[in-house]
Structure formats: structure tokens, C-alpha cells
């Protein structure tokens, strides 16, 4: 038997998948940032695997329930292939299965040793892109949109930064110039809004937990302290300022935020 608040949260997540919008105000029951759940685990532990499964399920529903196929050339896999294998002519007609999305994301997270919190922030940035750029995630662009969101989330949130050239070692056939160009477009389409407040992170966490319940998936993350959540929020604000400064200083087409890596080791200033 579900309480009214639990039912409301589940319906909110289903509505988000259909309408391609980020989670809105959740019930008061789930509003405290002192109960955010994340974990700094390695990829071998089940909590990260379960988080990736839930995040990729959310992406799957975005693709499945899209209203149209609005896209941009920079994310089109035919124009910018990730491998040397020829992209089929009907590549835009067939929706990927959830297991294919999961394997793609799991491979990147495993090779780059990214964390569970990075997976959740990846979804935040992905949904923010769909809203800001007014595009849909669809068969022709899902891999590059997901890759761009992971690239950005890993630089902002993970302790061990992954450079664009490192992703080129994972995806052997993509060039660093292509990665830099995609990153630049992603940031510009986000209007450099990469700040993720603790309250937004909490809403995404609880929406994902509800999604897991609806699909009989486990969601095994440990709680994050309020102090840690505030520090992460401060770091994302600091990165946002650095990205804006970098954009002004480097207008060349291949501009990348790789040189922001060092700021992660600076002390965050909490407001």
C-alpha cells in the first residue's frame, strides 16, 4: 500500500519522462538535503551499478516517450560518428533498448572510474540540455548527448578528473577535437548553468529511487551529510564561474574545460 506522498512522487517522475522536464517541487516528506543519498564507491560495488541502471532507465524513457525528433548536428551520430563502423542508413528509426544504454554508460563509468554521484549529475545536465536547447534525445543523438553530459559531470563532480583525451582512449575512434567541440556546444546550450544545488540533487535522487521501485530495481546508496551536499554545491558554483571565464578567454572552436581540473582540489567556500 502506497501513501499519498509516495504516489505523488511516482506520478511526478512518470510525467517528467513524458514531458522531458527536470523534476519539480517534490513533497515535503523528501525535501531535506540532510538526507541526500550518494556514495563514493568504486564501480565494482552494487550501489553504483544500481544507480547507473536507474539513470539509464530514465534516459530510456526520455527516448521512448519523446514527442518528436528535434536535434542538432553536433549531437548527430551520422555527422559525428563515435566509431569507424559505418552508421546504418536507418540509424534514426530504431529506439535503443535499455540494456544498450546501460552498457554504453557502464563502459564509460568503469573505464574512467566515475562515481555514483556523477551518474545522477549526468542526468541533471542531460535533462537541463533537453529543456534549454528545446531538443529531444532520440536514436540519432542519444550516445553523444549522454557522452557530453558524462564529460561535463565528471569534470565538475568527481575527485579524479578525466580529461577529454582520456575519453579518446576509451572511445578509440573519436578525436579530441570532436570532444572539445561537443563540450563547447553543450556548455553554450546550457548557458553555462552547471550549478546543481543540494535541493535539486535531492529531488533527482528521490525521483530515481521512485523509478527504481516502479521497475523492481534496487537503489542501494548511502546517505550524504548536509555538509558534504553544501560543499558539492559550492564546488559546482565555482566551476560555473570558471567555465564562464574560460569561455571569454578562449573563443577558438576547440575550446575545452580540461584546464579547470585543478580547481577541484581547492577549498570550497560555503555560503
pLDDT tens per residue, range 192-202: 999 999 899 98
Q: Which residues contact 259 (CB under 8 A, 6 or more apart)?
A: 246
- Residue 18 phi, psi (nearest 5): -75, -40
According to the model, what pLDDT value does residue 158 have? Answer: 66
- How much is the pLDDT for 87? 85
Q: What are the residue ranges in the chain where pLDDT is below 70? A: 1-46, 158-168, 172, 222-224, 247-271
pTM: 0.75
Q: What is the pLDDT of residue 29?
A: 32
Q: What is the DSSP letter of 133?
A: H
Query: First vs last Cα of the chain: how many Å apart?
Result: 41
Q: Report the C-alpha gap between 41 and 46 in whole angstroms.
A: 9
3 state DSSP class of 176: helix
| 178 phi and psi angles, rounded to 5 deg | -65, -40
- Give yes or no for a contact between 87 and 77, defined as CB atoms under 8 angstroms apart: yes
Question: What pLDDT is stored for residue 219 in this prediction?
Answer: 86
Question: Phi/psi at 101 (nearest 5 deg)?
Answer: -65, -45
SS3 192: coil
The residue behind cell 514527442 is 67
pLDDT at residue number 224? 64
State pLDDT tens for residues 109-141.
988 888 898 999 999 999 999 999 999 999 999
The three cell numbers of residue 193 are: 548553468
Using alpha carbons, list the distances in angstroms from residue 160 to 13, 224, 265.
Answer: 31, 19, 10
Q: Which of 185, 194, 158, 169 is nearest to 256 (CA)?
A: 185
pLDDT at 227: 78
Q: What is the pLDDT at residue 143?
A: 96
Which pLDDT value is given to residue 235? 82
Phi/psi at 223 (nearest 5 deg)? Answer: -70, 150
Superfamily of domain 47-215: Cyclin-like (1.10.472.10)
Amino acid at each position: 500500500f502506497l501513501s499519498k506522498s509516495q504516489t505523488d512522487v511516482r506520478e511526478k517522475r512518470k510525467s517528467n519522462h513524458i514531458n522531458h522536464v527536470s523534476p519539480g517541487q517534490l513533497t515535503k516528506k523528501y525535501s531535506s538535503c540532510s538526507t541526500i543519498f550518494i556514495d563514493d564507491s568504486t564501480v565494482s560495488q552494487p550501489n553504483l551499478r544500481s544507480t547507473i541502471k536507474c539513470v539509464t532507465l530514465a534516459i530510456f524513457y526520455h527516448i521512448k516517450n519523446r514527442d518528436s525528433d528535434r536535434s542538432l548536428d553536433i549531437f548527430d551520430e551520422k555527422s559525428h560518428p563515435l566509431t569507424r563502423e559505418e552508421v546504418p542508413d536507418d540509424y534514426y528509426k530504431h529506439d535503443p533498448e535499455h540494456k544498450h544504454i546501460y552498457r554504453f554508460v557502464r563502459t564509460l563509468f568503469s573505464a574512467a572510474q566515475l562515481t555514483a554521484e556523477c551518474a545522477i549529475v549526468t542526468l541533471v545536465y542531460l535533462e537541463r540540455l533537453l529543456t534549454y536547447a528545446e531538443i529531444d534525445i532520440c536514436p540519432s543523438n542519444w550516445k553523444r548527448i549522454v557522452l557530453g553530459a558524462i564529460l561535463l559531470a565528471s569534470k565538475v563532480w568527481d575527485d579524479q578528473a578525466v580529461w577529454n583525451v582520456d575519453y579518446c582512449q576509451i572511445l578509440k575512434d573519436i578525436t579530441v577535437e570532436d570532444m572539445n567541440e561537443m563540450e563547447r556546444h553543450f556548455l553554450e546550450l546550457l548557458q553555462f548553468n552547471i550549478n546543481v544545488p543540494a535541493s535539486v540533487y535531492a529531488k533527482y535522487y528521490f525521483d530515481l529511487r521512485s523509478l527504481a521501485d516502479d521497475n523492481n530495481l534496487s537503489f542501494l546508496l548511502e546517505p550524504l551529510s548536509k555538509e558534504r551536499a553544501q560543499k558539492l554545491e559550492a564546488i559546482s558554483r565555482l566551476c560555473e564561474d570558471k567555465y564562464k571565464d574560460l569561455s571569454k578567454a578562449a573563443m577558438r572552436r576547440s575550446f575545452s574545460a580540461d584546464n579547470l581540473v585543478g580547481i577541484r582540489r581547492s577549498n570550497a567556500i560555503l555560503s
